[in-house]
Amino acid sequence: MERTILHSDCNAFYASVEMLHRPEMKGKPLAVGGDPEARHGIVLTANYPAKRLGVKTGMALWQAKQVCPDIVFVPPRMDLYLRFSRLAHEIYADYTDLQEPFGVDESWLDVTDSTSYKGDGLKIAEEISRRIKFELGITVSIGVSWNKIFAKLGSDYKKPDAITVINKENYKNIVWSLPVSDLLYVGRATEKKLKLWGIHTIGELAQADPSLLQRQLGKMGLILHLFANGDDQTPVSKEDYRAPIKSIGNSTTTPRDLVNDEDVRIIVYVLAESVATRLRENNFKCRVVEISVRDNELSSYSKQRKIELPTDITSEIAEAAMELFHQSYHWNKPIRSIGVRACDLVDALIPVQLNLFISEERRQRLHQMDLAVDQIRKRFGFSSVQRGLMYQDKLLSAVNAKEDHTVHPHGYFENGNRTGVEYLG
């Protein structure tokens, strides 16, 4: 039985969610990104009125202001976007448990088993589109195909609020005329190389000599050739406990150089509090903790370690980060900036094998304490309750960790997905 794969892409996702909370901005240009007061940073996404005036993702805010003087900038609220992402996945779950996130706003869905009672891929896509619009107030573009690569090309083909079916009868007409840069994993460097060999479209790539592509691009050349021909066999991962993103992190440039371990501990706890709070708000736990350090001469490094049990507990994340710091930094120079990142995220309800050497009762108390602090801060403000550690240096403890909040999406190949390259001999 041929697979039926959908790729659902929330249109201008961050901006669309913000517009729901700012109805007065309807029809006006809006962009999410950077600091709206200081006007620094880049555009993460823009709504369609802004896009029509030339605002693009990745553009500096000052450049966006030049092409669209009336644009309104708003800071990102990743917690809000993650909440909407989860709501979208709850809708997808009514059609399949084979749903694989590709970032916060995109997902592949294998609805093959649902076609016998829900209708074909187009009908399912139409139903999902209607529900997303009615239940969440945003729109999606959906691609329908027999493989993941063409499904994604379908969702990109028409925007916003569109459905494109790419099947074995029409794919050459739709896909092969597209620029080769539209294909997943054809970046600028690869595009430049392909153009040197006269390959400008996906169709030209599909008809190119695979051995030439392999010589010039290695295994990736064969993979791209398969992608262009629709021969990708990569399965859609089963919905389990994986988060739609793979890490949440905070970093900060400190108000003064850090000169000893106690200075570092204060900043690490400030950052860990922000990271752990976001994990709890979004029902995630992490299995890996990472720390990044940059000294006052801008030399930098990062280290990470797997922890014993998945956690969203502030002190466990902070102490894991401090262990990494002690193992790897020897105070050759003062420190200018530090980052703490929670990686390998899983659903907070994931079942775990208890460790006889770790007190689960103590961990539960720490978790309840963190939850209590969350509630107090929601009601009375962040500074209403502080760790005693923070009173050792008011300047360092006043750092606003949320300014540099980052999330990192999943990659296409990180699960060792099959592409069919192994069958080429």
Among residues 317, 194, 196, 339, the alpha carbon closest in space to that of 258 is found at 339
Segments forming the whole domain that contains residue 291:
245-409
Per-residue pLDDT band for 348 (boundaries 50, 70, 90) equals: confident
Residue 314 included in any domain: yes
pLDDT over 90 (residue 247): no
Q: With contact defined as beta carbons under 8 Å apart, do 248 and 279 qualify?
A: yes
Tens digits of residue pLDDT in 82-96: 889 989 999 999 999
Distance, in Å, from the CA atom of 148 to the CA atom of 238, rounded to the nearest integer, reads: 14
Among residues 142, 146, 149, the alpha carbon closest in space to that of 167 is found at 146
Cβ-based neighbour number of residue 345 at 10 Å: 26
pLDDT over 60 (residue 50): yes
Tell me which of 106, 273, 290, 316 is the catalytic residue: 106
Residue 357 included in any domain: yes
Distance, in Å, from the CA atom of 166 to the CA atom of 148, rounded to the nearest integer, reads: 11
Distance, in Å, from the CA atom of 116 to the CA atom of 97, rounded to the nearest integer, reads: 16
106 flagged as catalytic: yes
Listed range (56-65, 301-310, 345-354) with the worst mean pLDDT: 345-354
Tens digits of residue pLDDT in 205-234: 999 999 989 988 988 999 999 999 999 888
Distance, in Å, from the CA atom of 345 to the CA atom of 412, rounded to the nearest integer, reads: 16
Q: If phi over 0 gives left and psi between -120 and 50 gives alpha, with beta otherwise, what is residue 106?
A: beta
Residue 6 included in any domain: no
What distances in angstroms separate CA 41 from CA 34, 238, 312, 422, one per listed residue? 4, 36, 29, 43
Q: Tell me what pLDDT residue 416 has.
A: 53
Per-residue pLDDT band for 121 (boundaries 50, 70, 90) equals: very high
The mean pLDDT value for 293-311 works out to 89
Tens digits of residue pLDDT in 156-185: 999 999 999 999 999 999 999 999 999 998
Q: Tell me what pLDDT residue 42 has.
A: 86
pLDDT over 50 (residue 422): no
Tens digits of residue pLDDT in 182-196: 999 898 889 999 999
Residue 253 included in any domain: yes
Among residues 108, 104, 136, 410, the alpha carbon closest in space to that of 282 is found at 104
Q: What φ, ψ does residue 252 adopt, rounded to 5°?
A: -155, 145
Question: What are the DSSP calls for 59-108, one per residue?
Answer: -BHHHHHHH-TT-EEE---HHHHHHHHHHHHHHHTTT-S-EEESSSSEEE
Listed range (125-134, 241-250, 360-369) with the worst mean pLDDT: 241-250
> Is this model's pTM higher than 0.85 or not?
no
Number of residues that make up the chain = 425
Distance, in Å, from the CA atom of 233 to the CA atom of 381, rounded to the nearest integer, reads: 51
| Mean of the per-residue pLDDT values of the chain | 88
- H-helix or E-strand spanning residue 264: helix 261-281
pLDDT over 50 (residue 149): yes
Residue 368 included in any domain: yes
pLDDT over 80 (residue 383): no
Which residue type is seen at 12? A
Question: Residues 65, 66, 67, 68: is their CA dihedral positive or negative?
Answer: positive
Among residues 253, 234, 280, the alpha carbon closest in space to that of 396 is found at 253
Residue 334 included in any domain: yes
**How many domains is the chain built from?**
1
Six token digits for residue 270:
């400030």
Residue 138 included in any domain: no
Beta strand pairing call for 140-145 and 163-165: parallel
Q: What CATH number is attached to the domain comprising 284?
A: 3.30.1490.100
Residue 402 included in any domain: yes
